[in-house]
A and B are shown apart, each in its own frame.
Chain A
Amino acid sequence: MTAMKKIEENLRKEAKRLLEGGEVSVVLAYGRGYDENHPMPFAARTVEDVDSLVFNEYCTFNLARYLPKYPPKTKIAVAVKAADSRAVVQLIQEEKVRREDLVILGIPVTGMKDQKTGEVIDNKTTCNMANPVLYDILLGDEIHGFKGGSPYDVLAELEGMDHDARMAFWKKEFEKCIRCFACRKACPMCYCDPCFMDASRPRWADKSPTPDGHLMYHLTRFYHLAGRCIDCGECSRACPVDIPLYLFHKKLAKECEDMFQQAAGMKIEDKPAMVNYGNQDSDEMLK
Chain B
Amino acid sequence: MLKKIALEKLGDLVSALMEKGPLYAPVKGEKAVDFQEITNPADVILDFYNTAMSPKFAFFPQSEDLIRYRLGKEATESEAVSLDAKPSVILGVRPCDAKSFEIMDRHFLGAGIIDPYWNDKREKTTIIGYAFDPSTAADPADFYNTLGISASDTAGSDIFMIRTDKHLLFKGITEKGDRLLKELSVLEAGSKTDEKTFEDKAKKGGEVKTRFMEIQDKAVAGKLVQVFNNKEFWEKATAACISCGACTFVCPTCYCFDISDETLFRDGVRKRFWDACMFTDFTLEASGHNPRPRIFQRYRQKVCHKYSYHVDKYGCISCVGCGRCTRSCPVNIDIYSIIESASKL
Question: Chain A residues in contact with chain B, CB under 8 A?
Answer: 33-35, 37-43, 61, 65, 115-117, 176, 178-182, 185-186, 194, 198, 200, 206-210, 234, 237-238, 240-242
Q: Across the interface, which residues of B come within 8 angstroms of A240, CB to CB?
A: 52-53, 246, 249-250, 328
Contact of B244 among A37, A185, A242 (CB under 8 A): A185
Beyond A186-B244, A210-B63, is A33–B258 a contact (Cβ under 8 Å)? no
Contact mask B259-298 → A, CB, 8 Å, 1/0? 0101000000001011010011100000000000000000
Cα of A237 to Cα of B328 in the assembled complex, Å: 10
Q: Is the CB of A238 within 8 A of B332?
A: no
Interface of B is mostly: loop
Q: Is the CB of B63 within 8 A of A208?
A: yes
Question: Chain B residues in contact with chain A, CB under 8 A?
Answer: 29-32, 52-53, 62-63, 140-141, 239-240, 242-246, 249-250, 258, 260, 262, 271, 273-274, 276, 279-281, 326-328, 330-334, 336-337
* Most-contacted residue by chain B among A41, A61, A185, A194 (CB, 10 A): A185
Q: Is the CB of A208 within 8 A of B271?
A: yes
Contact of A180 among B245, B271, B273 (CB under 8 A): B245
Q: Is the CB of B52 within 8 A of A40?
A: no
Q: Is the CB of B246 within 8 A of A182?
A: yes
Q: Which residue of A lies closest to B239 (CB)?
A: A43
27 A-B contacts, Cβ less than 8 Å apart?
A34-B326, A34-B337, A35-B140, A40-B240, A40-B331, A61-B331, A116-B31, A116-B327, A178-B53, A178-B245, A178-B274, A180-B245, A181-B244, A182-B242, A182-B244, A182-B245, A182-B246, A185-B330, A194-B280, A207-B262, A209-B63, A209-B273, A210-B63, A238-B244, A240-B250, A240-B328, A241-B53
Q: Across the interface, which residues of A come within 8 angstroms of B337, CB to CB?
A: 34
Interface of A is mostly: loop
Q: Which residue of B lies closest to A33 (CB)?
A: B332
Q: Is the CB of A180 within 8 A of B246?
A: yes
* Most-contacted residue by chain B among A43, A180, A194, A198 (CB, 10 A): A180
* Most-contacted residue by chain A among B243, B250, B262, B330 (CB, 10 A): B330
* Most-contacted residue by chain B among A41, A117, A208 (CB, 10 A): A208
Cα of A42 to Cα of B236 in the assembled complex, Å: 9
Q: Is the CB of A185 within 8 A of B240?
A: no
Query: Closest approach, in angstroms, between the C-beta of B248 and any C-beta of chain A?
Result: 8
Cα of A99 to Cα of B332 in the assembled complex, Å: 29
Q: Across the interface, which residues of B come within 8 angstroms of A185, CB to CB?
A: 242-244, 330
Q: Across the interface, which residues of B come within 8 angstroms of A178, CB to CB?
A: 53, 62, 245, 249, 274
Q: Is the CB of A38 within 8 A of B63?
A: no
Beyond A34-B140, A178-B53, A182-B330, is A241–B32 a contact (Cβ under 8 Å)? yes
Beyond A34-B141, A242-B31, is A41–B240 a contact (Cβ under 8 Å)? yes
Starting from the known contacts A176-B29, A180-B276, A185-B243, 16 additional A-B residue pairs (CB-CB under 8 Å) come to: A34-B332, A34-B334, A34-B337, A40-B332, A42-B239, A42-B240, A178-B53, A180-B245, A185-B242, A186-B244, A198-B280, A198-B281, A209-B274, A240-B250, A241-B52, A242-B32
